[in-house]
Amino acid sequence: MKQKIFLDLTPLLDVVLILLFAFMLNVNVANSEKDNKIQEKNQINATLKETINDKNEHIKQLQSNIQNLNQMINKLQNNMDELSFDTANEKETIKNISNNLAKWFKDNQYKLDNITNEDSINSLIDEDSLLKQLSKYETISKKYFFIDIKLKSSSNKLFINGEDTKTFISLEEILTDDAKNNKKEQVKDIIEKVIDNREGGYTFILITLSEEDNVYRYAYTLVWEAIKDIEQKHGTDKIFKAKYVL
């Protein structure tokens, strides 16, 4: 008769369960480490993306500033061309006046040498003479209120009728169109106050602009534009403007 043999597999099952637990534990640890790496990578990507966005915004701002500067350079170039043209015309006018004066004195040298009394002086003055024209300037000037505007030094300091307005015009203040308009309005307000505070009796206003000691073109141009705006506001039949090159 055959005997039945029974094997106890309990120890083997324990070993299998231990191995299975160890395997599952390793898998969990590996998954956890993988999740941590993915999370860390996502954080790095988010940080990089934020940094890139910041850099892009900075680049856009720089591009906008460059565009504004280019526009300003173009405007300054146009104003320089206009100023060069005006300067050439003024030089030509001064040259013509000088030549006419020299010719007049040459033509009247004998009479000037023989002036002995008031009648001799009056004899030189007729309706068409240069002296007669000059004698009229005093009468004309009484009808004009003069506003002498001057920019001084590389700090572009603003003076009106010899008085310091405590106002400077720096490049940083006009880098953008809005900033430039604000600065121009400030200059216009200063000039308008001088106009408003003038005494009566004047029919016209003459605004002159000059410079002294290495004034920058952008400041000179801005003040000239402010003067032109005032001329348009009050009318070209009441406000007159002129540039002087010293």
H/E segment holding residue 204: strand 204-212
Same domain, 246 and 173: yes
What's the total number of domains in the chain? 2
Residue 238 sits in the same domain as residue 150: yes
> Which stretch of DSSP H or E encloses residue 59?
helix 10-107
Looking up tokens 């005006």, which residue turns up?
Answer: 86
Distances (CA, A) of 181 to 47, 220, 236: 40, 14, 22
Vertex 211 angle, CA 207 and 216, to 5°? 120
Going along 141-194, which residue ranges are E strands?
A: 144-152, 157-160, 163-168
Last residue of a domain, one of 78, 106, 128: 78
Question: Cβ(202)–Cβ(182) under 8 Å?
Answer: no
Whether 137 is in a domain gets the answer no
Residues 146 and 245 in one domain: yes
Q: Take residue 71 and report the two structure tokens written for it.
A: 């526009």
53-79 average pLDDT score:
79
Q: Which residue among 31, 56, 78 closes a domain?
A: 78
Q: How confident is the model at residue 127 (pLDDT cuts 50, 70, 90)?
A: very low
- Statement to judge: residues 155 and 241 lie in one domain: yes
Q: Do 210 and 146 meet the contact criterion of CB atoms below 8 Å apart?
A: no
Q: What are the structure tokens assigned to 54, written together?
A: 């910041």
- Global pTM reads 0.47
**Residue 232 is assigned to a structural domain of this protein:** yes
Question: How far is 151 from 28, CA to CA, in rounded Å?
Answer: 79
Are residue 146 and residue 51 in the same domain, yes or no? no
- The residues with which 211 forms a beta bridge, in sequence order, are 151
**60, 78, 96 — which closes off a domain?**
78
In a domain, 57, yes or no: yes
pLDDT grade for 116, boundaries at 50, 70 and 90: very low
The yes-or-no verdict on residue 35 having pLDDT over 50 is yes
Encode pLDDT of 6-15 as tens digits: 455 566 666 6
Tokens of 153: 């030094």
Q: Higher-confidence residue: 234 or 140?
A: 234
pLDDT digit string (tens) for 199-214?
A: 776 678 889 999 988 8
pLDDT at 191 over 80: yes
Beta bridge partners of 239: 205
**Residue 215 belongs to domain spanning:** 142-246
Q: Which two tokens stand for residue 201?
A: 């009796």
Q: What is the dihedral of CA 88, 92, 97, 98, to 10 degrees?
A: 100
State the CB neighbour count (10 A cutoff) for residue 69.
13
